Amino acid sequence: MANVARDTFVVGLSNAHAMEVQARELMERQSERLDEYPEVKAKVVAHLQETNEQLKRLERCLEACGENSSSLKDTTQSVMANMQAMAHSVAGDEILKNTFANNAFENFEIAAYKSLLALCGAAGVAEAKDLLETSLQEEQRMAAWIDSNVEKVTMEYLAHQRQAA
pLDDT by residue (tens digit) across 96-128? 999 999 999 999 999 999 999 999 999 999 999
Say if CB 15 and CB 69 are below 8 A apart: no
Say if CB 80 and CB 108 are below 8 A apart: no
pTM above 0.85, yes or no: yes
Of 41, 19, 5, 29, nearest to 136 by C-alpha is 19
Contacts of 76 (CB under 8 A, 6+ apart): 18
Where is mean pLDDT largest: 15-19, 37-41, 67-71, 90-94? 37-41
